[in-house]
Amino acid sequence: MRLTSFTDFGLRMLMRMAGDPSRAFSSAELAADLGQS
C-alpha cells in the first residue's frame, strides 16, 4: 500500500501517542521524535 508523506507521518504520530495514552504530547515533541522540523 502506498501512502502520502502526510498520511505516513499522521499514522506515525497516532501510533506514538497510542503507546502512552495517559501522556500529553506537543506537536514540537512529536516532530522531533519523527525527525521533522
Joined together, the cell numbers standing for residue 27 give 506537536
pTM attached to this predicted model: 0.76
Distance CA 13, CA 19 (A): 10
For residues 17 and 9, the answer to whether their CB atoms sit within 8 Å is: no
Evaluated on CA atoms 10, 15, 18, 19, the torsion sign reads negative
CA 6, chain centre distance (Å)? 10
- Please tell me the predicted confidence (pLDDT) of residue 37: 74
| Predicted confidence (pLDDT) per residue in 1-37, tens digit | 899 999 999 999 999 999 999 999 999 999 999 998 7
